[in-house]
Amino acid sequence: MTISLQDLLVLGQGRDLASERGVSCTGELPAASDPDLVARAVAARSGLGSRALILGHHYQRDEVIQFADITGDSFKLAQAASEQKSAEFIFFCGVHFMAESADILTSPQQKVILPDLAAGCSMADMATASQVQECWKELEKIGVAETTIPVTYMNSSAAIKSFTGEHGGTICTSSNAQKTMEWALSKGSKILFLPDQHLGRNTAVLSLGLSLDDCVLWNPWKPMGGLTEDEIKNATVILWRGHCSVHGRFTRDSVNEVRTRVPGVNVIVHPECTHDVVTAADVVGSTEKIIQTVSQSAPGSKWAVGTELNLVSRLAANNPDKEVVFLDKTVCYCSTMNRIDLPHLVWAMESVLAGHIVNHIKVDERVARFSKLALDQMLAL
């Protein structure tokens, strides 16, 4: 089953894609309690051999990560897919925007498979193509669009990446956001930052030296984003009203509480956290930086980590000589990422072995072309 942008619209409207397309996996998924599940996964992986590549995002559960050929963040995995040109089938254990990026960067002969179509991203869904186009029309009306450069976070749909490429912008990751925003301001006087307001705000203030007053928040549900013409004209960065449901849970109280609970703890957080949390932390960095910092720290050091719980639990297990705790007392997994589980991965692999390609993610050709322009611009930096 190939998933197009129209299919994603069907999913976004709450309709059942499998039913609409006459396809169902009812009864085909192995039970999570199947005692032979791991053995089936091993057999399917062995049967696929070099024809397959399994990519596992850092936020995946351990039962999936154990079968990943490569682990990493979203862009690292998409790049890995593009470099493994001999792999005919790429099983992307992540969320749909990541699978889209992999499809954009791989060859037409390669097929990207998302084991569960329900694995989406709430942040990416907070900016739709129609909303962003409407925002751009408003910027054109008040005469600032031509000097505004879109910068889009990797955690976005292919449609938003395409908009960015079509309007001369670039893509960023959490580790190169400063460089991309500096580039954008060398090309124009304003940035439209999509879709994560916190990464945009934190980078603008803490890395670029701008003030909070230099940033305004565009609310797509309000006329003209809920802003006045003067507020837009005076702003340097227009932040989209989007956020990560996991990183947005951490608060300044979380930081204060863990410092009391674990004396001498170092607080390290992802830049998708709120500005209050980031300014209260000791270290701020991307997923890869968090892993590297904790792993290379001194034995006996203490770390409170503000990111997804699967990753934090894995960090704690891999660093038994340190004390690694979750920043918040409340357990918080990425619910959509966790939809990818071993039963879905086994089902997808066994289906391909049987000659039935399921959940094939395919981005529209025009969308892919402009998306790649934006991605190539990031790589050029």
The rounded distance, in Å, linking the Cα atoms of 283 and 285 is 7
The rounded distance, in Å, linking the Cα atoms of 5 and 1 is 13
Q: Tokens for 372?
A: 């790649």
The rounded distance, in Å, linking the Cα atoms of 306 and 271 is 9
Question: 102 exposed, middle or buried (CB, 10 Å; 0-12, 13-18, 19+)?
Answer: buried
By C-alpha distance, which of 60, 45, 56 is closest to 102? 56
Could you please report the per-residue DSSP string of 183-249? HHHHH-SEEEEES-HHHHHHIIIIIS---GGGEEEE-TTSGGGG--HHHHHH-SEEEES---TTGGG
CB 154 within 8 A of CB 171: yes
Query: What are the distances in angstroms from CA 88 to CA 96, 98, 330?
Result: 19, 17, 41
Quote the pLDDT of residue 5: 42
Query: What are the distances in angstroms from CA 288 to CA 75, 215, 294?
Result: 11, 27, 10
- Region of residue 321 (left: phi > 0; alpha: psi -120 to 50; beta: else): alpha
Q: Could you report the average pLDDT of every consecutive run of 10 residues in the chain (381 residues)?
A: 44 39 58 90 96 94 95 87 91 94 93 95 94 98 98 96 97 94 97 98 97 98 97 98 94 96 97 97 95 97 95 95 92 84 96 96 96 91 85
Domain boundaries of the chain, sorted by first residue: 2-120+336-364, 124-244, 247-326
- The residues with which 152 forms a beta bridge, in sequence order, are 171, 194
Domain 124-244 classification at class level? alpha beta
Number of other residues whose CB lies within 10 A of the CB of residue 261? 11
Query: What are the distances in angstroms from CA 204 to CA 15, 24, 198, 228, 234?
Result: 39, 46, 10, 21, 15
Q: Which amino acid is at 105?
A: L
β-bridge pairing 360-361 and 111-113: antiparallel
* CATH code for the structural domain at 247-326: 3.40.50.10800
The rounded distance, in Å, linking the Cα atoms of 32 and 29 is 9
Given this chain, do its domains 2-120+336-364 and 247-326 carry the same CATH topology? yes
The rounded distance, in Å, linking the Cα atoms of 101 and 186 is 26
The superfamily in CATH containing domain 2-120+336-364 is NadA-like (3.40.50.10800)
Give the DSSP H or E segment for 132.
helix 129-141
The rounded distance, in Å, linking the Cα atoms of 233 and 211 is 16
Q: Tokens for 225?
A: 């984003």
Q: Which amino acid is at 369?
A: R
Quote the pLDDT of residue 379: 86
Strands (E), the chain: 2-3, 52-57, 70-72, 89-93, 111-113, 148-153, 170-172, 190-194, 215-218, 237-240, 266-269, 283-284, 302-306, 323-326, 360-361
The rounded distance, in Å, linking the Cα atoms of 295 and 267 is 14
Q: Tokens for 94?
A: 């992540």
Number of other residues whose CB lies within 10 A of the CB of residue 197? 25
Question: Which sign, positive or negative, has the C-alpha torsion 371, 376, 379, 381?
Answer: negative
